[in-house]
Amino acid sequence: MKFVTSRRFLRKAGSHFFMLLLCVFAAAQAFADPAIPTGDIRIHYHRPDGNYAGWTIYAFDNTTENTGNYGGGPVQVTGTDTFGAYFDVGVTSGAQEVGIIIHNPTASGGDQKDTPNNLFVDPATQGIEYWAYSGIAKLYTTAPSLTNPTALLPGYVRVHYHRTDGNYGGWTIYAFYDTTEFTGDYNSGLVPVTNTDAYGAYFDVAAVPNAQNLGLIIHNPSAPGGDQKDPGPNEFVDPSTEGFEYWGYTGIGKLYKSQPSLTNPTALLPGYARIHYFRPDGNYANWTVYAFNDTAEYTGDYNDGLTGVTSHDSYGAYFDISLIPNPKDLGFIIHNISTGVKDPGPDMHLDVATNTQAWVISGNATVFLTTPTPTQILDSLLNVEQAYWLDRQRVAIQPQFAQSGDTFAISSSLTGGLSVTPTGVTGGTNIPLTVGGALTADELLRYPQLSGYTVLQLPENTQLSTLQTALEGQLAFSAVGSNGMLQYATGIQFAGVLDDLYYYPGKLGVVFHHWDDKNWRDWPDDEDCAVKLKLWAPTAQNVSLQLFDHESDTAPSAVVTMHEHDGVWVAKGDPSWKDKYYLYSVKVWVSADGAVDTNVTSDPYSIDIALNGTKSRITDLDSDRTKPAGWDEETSPPLRSVSDMSIYELHIRDFSVNDLTVPLAHRGMYEAFEDQGSDGMKHLRSLAESGLKAVHILPSFHFASVNEDKSKWIIPTGLGVYPPDGQQQQAAVTASQTSPAYNWGYDPVHYLTPEGSYAINPDNRVREYRVMVDGLHKAGLRVVQDVVFNHTNASGEGPNSNLDEVVPNYYHRLDANGNLETGSCCPDTASEHRMMEKLIIDTLVLNAKDYKIDGFRFDILSFMFTYNVQAIQQALQALTPEKDGVDGSKIYLYGEGFNFGDTANNQIGPNASQINLYGFGVGTFNDRIRDGIHGGSPFTDERVQGFATGLFTDPSDYTNSNPPLNGQQNQLLQYSDWIDVGLTGNLRDYSFTDSAGATVTGAQVLYNGQPTGYTKSPIEAVNYASVHDNQDLFDKVQLKSSYNDNIATRARRQLMGMSLVTLGEGIPFFQAGDDLLRSKDMDQNSYNSGDWFNKIDWSGKTANWGIGLPIASQNQAQWPIMMPLLSNPSYTPLPANIAYSKAAFSELLQIRYSSELFRMPTFEEVQRNLTFLNTGSSQTPGLIVMNLDANGGGYGIYKHILVVFNATNASVTFTNTHLQGLGLHLHPVQRNSSDPATRQSTFNSKEGTVIVPALTTAVFVAESE
C-alpha cells in the first residue's frame, strides 16, 4: 500500500517516531516489498550512512504528485527494504518523462540534493521500479551492488567523457534510437553526468535489449548563448559488436571502445582504422562514412551516417572506424547524408590487416596508403566531372565557378597529358570559352538539374575536327582568375555534345545486305559487301574488328580495319563471314584509368554470341538455321483490344525443371514450351481456354549471373529427406550459388541476344528462343518479355561491361560530380542520352519483329523518362502486319512506376512514374490494391493483415497485439477504399463514396500520402497481389492469417485476393502458380534460391510448401516467425485444396471474359457503369459490393452484373434498394462451380438482397432484354 496518511502525519512528528517507523518497515520488509500501487513508480534509495531522515523526492513533469511545494518534500519515504528506503511516486497515465529530485529540505545549512542534477525516468520503456545509490546521479532499472555501486550494470552503456577544462556543469547526453531513455525532450538533458572518475565524468545510458544502433549527443543545454554540442555531429555506437563502455574526448567526434591517451588524444587507437579525407572546398559538413565488411560499426542504416567526422588535421578531415577482431577487408563509402551524394562514388576498400590508415581525395576512387602529394591532390580535381559539354557550341558549369573576370577554357589531350598547376591546366590543347547563352527547351527537359547553371560558349568558328579530336582524349574545364591563378578545374561530362554531333538513327551491329534497303545505305564507300558490322564509338581513337572462325578460337583468323563515319565505325565482309565470331578492339581514353586503353570487347548490339558472350556472332536472323518450322507463317493469338489483356508471370526454368512429363533434355529450357502434352503446357493451354491472354517471361536476354556452360552448374539433390522447417535445404542451395543454374536474370549484358543457359545448345539460342514463342502462341497465349533497361550488370573496365568499353562514361548515368549512379543497386543506365534511348528502342523493335514478342514489361520503369516512353510507343506503333509482320498497336507496355531513387520527383527529368504516366496508355503496377488485399507493404512486418488475410474480421495474434479493434476496423476500411479505386482501374478522376461517407475522387483517397488513383484509363493499371518480388501470394496468406485458420480457409483467402485482381477493371496480373497455391516457403527474395525453392508442380499434387527454411541471407531474421508455420503439417496444402484453387481461378477467368463490363477501356465508361454499394461509415467491414450496369449497351449478353467480395469469416446478407427488381441470378459459371459454398450464393429480387457465404466472391448477372 501507499502510506498517504503517514506522510501527512510524519510532517508533524518528530525524528524519534520516524526512526521507530523505519524499524517497523525493516521488520516487515524481511518478508517482501509490498506491490507497487497502480499509477505509481517506485524509487529505491540507498545511503551508506543509513540515515534517511528528512530525505524526500520532488517529482515533476509526468507526475500526479504535488509539484507546487518543492521545499515541503511532497513524496516522503514510503517504506524500507534490504536496499534502503523507497519512495512510491504517482505518475500520469502513459507517463514517459518523470523528473526526480532526491533531496533533504531539512538538512542543516538548507536544502541538500543528493546529486546536483535532476534525474529522469521513462516508465513507458523502462518500467516502474528504479534504484538510486547516494552520490550517483542515475536511476537504474536494476539494483546496483552495495559493495561496488559504480560497476556498470547490465542494460546500460557507459560513456566516459573528458573535458580539458574539467568543467562538467550542465553537460548531459541525449540518447536516441536503441535506448529506453525518454527521447521526446532534447533540451532538458535527460541523462546528466552519472558520476566522475580518474578520466573525467561518465554517463550511464539505458539501452534496449540487443541494442545495435545507439545514438548519442553530448551537449550542454544551459551553455551561455544556447545549447552547445561537443563536438557537433551525432555519434553512434553498436553495443552488440563494440561492447558497453566508451570514451569520448572533448572536440573529438568519436566514442572509442578503449580509453584515448590524455596526453595524445588524437593518436589512432588499436581496433580502429582511420580514413583521411580531403575536399578542395574545405566543407566537411554532413560528410560521413558508412563502413561494411570487417567493421564493428553498425551497418544496418546506410542513410544515417553512423560515422561522422572524428576530427581534422592538416590534410583535411578524418574518420575513425571501429574494427572487428582480426580484420582483413574494411569496406567504406564516403557520402553526404544531407544530399545523398557519394564521393567519389564506388565502394572503396582497405586491407586493414596490413594498413590501418588510408587517404582519400574528393572525386578520386584511389585509396592512398600514404599522404598524397600536392600534385596528386591537384590532378585529382579532374577526376570530378562537374562541367557539362552540352552541344557543339556550349558548356554548362555551376554558377559559383563562373566568376566575372575569369578566363575559361576546355583543355584536351589525346594522350592524357593534362596536369593541374597553380596557374591553370597544362599539357594539352585549349578551346577558349566565354559566358553567354542559355539551355534549350530540350536540354531543360533532359537535364532540369542544370537549370541554374551558367552557360559558356565555344568560338563560332570552332572546326568540327577540333571538337572530334578533343572528344577523343582527356578533357578538363578550367577557370583562371585575372591574377593569373587557377580558380577552378574539373573534368567534363560530354554525353550532350556526343548526342548533338554523333546521334546516329541507322541500324547498328550486324547488317546483312538482303535486309531492307534503308538499313544498308549509309555511306557509298561501305556498301560494296555482303555483310557489314557497325559500331557507334565516337570517342574512339581507333577501332578494328577481330574475326574468328570458331567460338573457341583464342586468336583471330583476321584483323579487319574499320572506317569511321561521323562516330560510326564500319567493317565490310563477304558471305563467308556468316556464322563466324568477332570482337572489337577499341582504342579509347578511359578517364577512370587515366589512360588510353585498348579494350577488346563484344558488340553491345550483338544479336547472337558465343558461350557466355565471350564473342559476338555474325548471325543472319533470316536464315533457316535460326527458325523453327513454320516460323515465317506463325502469328500471335488475336487480341481484340489491349483492355482484354491478362498476364501470367513465369520464369523459364521454373516452368519445366520440375515437370516429369517434359523430356529430360528440355526441362528448364526454351524447348519445354513446345512440348504441348506436358503438364505445364496443358495447364497454360487450359488457362488460355478460360480467357488468359499472355504469359510474361522473366528476363531472357543474355545476363551474367548464370554460366551458360551447364557442366559447371551445381544443382543440389536429395533435399527432400530434411524436415519441413530444416536449415539443411537452404544451406545446400546457398552452397550452389557459387556456380548456379538459377537466377532471375536482372543483370543484363547483351540486350539483343537471347540467354544461352535456357538453350539446350547455346549455339542455337536464337532458334530455341523462337521455339518457345511459337509454343506459347500455339497454346493461345501472347508473349510478354521482361526487359531491364534501367541498369547493366557491369560498368567501367570490368567484365561484361561492353557499353563502357566502347564509349566510356556515356551509357551510364552520372551524378553532378561524374560519379556512377547506382540507385537500382547496379550501374544505372542513362536513357536521357539519345543513343542509350536508341539502344532501348532498337532492342524492343527487334524483339517485336524478329521474335514476335507481344508486349514488354519494364523493370524499374521509373528510372526512365516520359519522353523515352513516348519514343518507344511511336517506334512500336509504327509496326504493321503488312510491313513488319506484327501489329504494333496491340503491343502492351507496362512496368514498375514506383517513384524512388535518382530519378524520384522529377529531379533529373519527368520520370516514368505512376503519376507522370497519366494518359500514356502504359501500365504500371498498382501497389495500392496489392497492399489493400494482403495488408502492410514490402517494407512493413510480414504479418500485417489486410482485406483478404483477416484484418479485423479474423485478426491474428500479431494483429491483436498491435492496434485495438477500432483501429483495425479503420485500417480495413482504408484498405477497402484502396481496393475500390483499384477495381475501377485505379482511375484518378473516378468519383465515389468513400468509407467516411464523403464523395471523393480516386486521387483524393490517399495511399501513404500519395494519390491512390493515378490513371486516365484502366489499361494504365496493372492490378496484382503477387509477383516474383517478395513473398508470393500463398506465402503472404500463410504469414498473415490467424493461426486458427485451417488450410481450406487459407486457400479461400488466396482466391479472395485473386478474385479482386481478376474481376476489376484494368489489366489483371498473376504470378505463375498462384492458382495452384504455389509456395516458395516464404522466401522474400528468391532471385537466386535455385530450383528447390522456385519450382512449380503443375500436376497439382504439391504446392512446394514445407520444404525447408528459405535462404538465410535474405530471410534469416524472419525464421522465428516461419518455423512454427512450416513445422505445422495442418498448414500444408493437400491436392484437394490445390484442385479447388485451380478450378476457382479458371472460373474467375471465364467470368471476366464473359462480359466486356469487366474490361471497359475508358474512364467515362467506368464512371457511367460501375458503382460501389457497400460504402460510407456504416458499411459492413470486409465486404465490397461492385455493381456494373451496361448503360448504353454493347458489353455483351449481360445488362447488370453484381460482384460481391465477402472477405469475412461468416455468411453475409446484404440488401440495397438499387438491387430491388433486378433479375439477377448467380453467374452460369458459378451456378455450376466446383465449389459448393459458391453455389450457395443467392439473390432475392424483391428485397434486393444477396446472401454470400464466408470468404467467397459471388457474381450475379442479369441478361439484356
Catalytic residue IDs? 859, 896
Give the integer Cα–Cα distance in Å for 143 and 49.
18
Euclidean distance between CA atoms 1162 and 1177, whole angstroms? 29
| Residue 549: count of CB within 10 angstroms of its CB | 13
CA 951 to chain centre: 26
Instruction: Say which amino acid occupies 1063.
Output: L
For residue 103, list its beta bridge partners. Answer: 56, 113
User: How many CA atoms are closer than 13 Å to the CA of 396, on its beta-carbon side?
Assistant: 22
Beta-carbon count within 10 A of 1091 CB? 20
Q: Is 1172 helix (H, G, I), strand (E, B) or coil?
A: strand
In the three-class reduction of DSSP (H, G, I as helix; E, B as strand; rest coil), residue 309 is classed as coil
**189, amino acid identity:** G
Strand ranges, E, within 778-887:
782-787, 855-858
Residues whose CB is less than 8 angstroms from the CB of residue 358 and which lie 6 or more positions away in sequence, other chains included: 273, 274, 275, 276, 350, 367, 368, 369
| Backbone φ/ψ region at 61: left (φ over 0), alpha (ψ -120 to 50), beta | left
Three-class secondary structure of residue 725 per DSSP: coil
If we measure between CA atoms, which residue out of 313, 320, 163 comes closest to residue 249?
Answer: 163
Angle between helices 927-934 and 965-983 (to 10 degrees): 140
Q: Are strands 112-113 and 119-121 parallel, antiparallel or unpaired?
A: unpaired
Q: Which three cell numbers stand for residue 467?
A: 571538337
Q: Contact 123/95 with Cβ under 8 angstroms?
A: yes
Residues 6+ apart with CB under 8 A from 426: 418, 419
The DSSP secondary structure of 204-254, one letter per residue, reads EEEB-TT---EEEEEEETTSTTS-EESSSS-EEE-HHHH-SEEEEETT---
509-512 and 424-426 strand pairing:
unpaired
CB 546: neighbour CB atoms within 10 A? 18
C-alpha cell at 943: 504479418
From edge to edge, which strands make up the β-sheet containing 1242-1244? 1212-1215, 1249-1252, 1242-1244
CB atoms within 10 A of CB 965: 11
The strand pairing partners of 349, in sequence order, are 331
Q: How far apart are CA 770 and CA 781, in angstroms?
A: 14
All three cell numbers of 301, joined, read 542504416
φ, ψ of residue 942 to 5 degrees: the values are -65, -15
Place of cell 499509477: 39
- How far is 698 from 423, CA to CA, in rounded Å? 56
Cα separation of 843 and 856, whole Å?
11
Helices (H) and strands (E) in the chain, counts: 28, 65
User: What is the rounded radius of gyration, in angstroms, for the C-alpha atoms of the chain?
Assistant: 36
DSSP characters for 463-491? -HHHHHHHHTSEEEEEEE-TTS-EEEEEE
Give the torsion sign (CA, 219, 220, 221, 227): negative
Cβ atoms of 331 and 292 closer than 8 Å? yes
Q: Assess contact for 213 and 306: CB atoms under 8 A.
A: yes
Count of CA atoms in the C-beta half-sphere (13 A) of 368? 17
